[in-house]
Amino acid sequence: MIFQKETEINTMALDSTFWVAVSFFIFFGGLIYLKVPQKINEILNKLILDIKSEIDESEKLRTEAKTLLDNAQKKLDTVQSTRSEILDQAKKDSDRLIIELNDKFHKSSEIKKNSAQAKISQMKDTAIKEIKTASVKIAVDSVKKIITTSVDKSKLDTLFQKNLEETKEELKKINS
């Protein structure tokens, strides 16, 4: 009986292993029959192609972006060099303009100064002539009054002629 039980256990063990093996082959056979590995292979190939196309597209975009960046950098460099040239030229122009305006200002100031000095000198000369004329007139009038009041007519005429001659000589010296 013990032997019989062992045989039954072995048969059962063999039977269950056998059926597991058979079901395993049937499962894989069903997968092959339904072409599941081919479908999995196709899906994987499609995913691989999609990923490869995305990588190619991203590489293309990266290349385009690099080209755009290089172009933008060249434009920026050109703009910066142009800006530097414009600033340098503007500085030179402003310096030149400042010098020109400074020179014009000094020349204008000098002209105005000379004009003012000439006017002052002319006014001074005019004032001196007016003062001399007034002084001579006052002196002549004063002498005339003194003479008319203190001297008789004959002495007066002689004195007047003498003073008139002296005054004329003095005026000639002054005007010369």
Contact 146, 160 (CB under 8 A): no
- How far apart CA 152 and CA 117 sit, in angstroms, is 52
pLDDT digits (tens, 9 = 90+) for 114-172: 998 999 989 888 888 887 787 778 777 777 777 667 656 677 677 778 877 887 777 77
Contact 136, 171 (CB under 8 A): yes
pLDDT digits (tens, 9 = 90+) for 82-122: 999 999 999 999 999 999 999 998 999 999 999 989 999 89
In this prediction the pTM is: 0.39
- Residues with Cβ within 8 Å of 31's Cβ and at least 6 positions away in sequence, in order, are 37
Contact 107, 100 (CB under 8 A): no
Residue 139's pLDDT is what?
Answer: 78
Q: Where are the domains of the chain?
A: 35-175
pLDDT band at 73 (very low <50, low <70, confident <90, very high): very high
Query: How many residues are listed for the chain in this entry?
Result: 176
pLDDT band at 57 (very low <50, low <70, confident <90, very high): very high
Look up tokens 């200002």; give the residue. 105
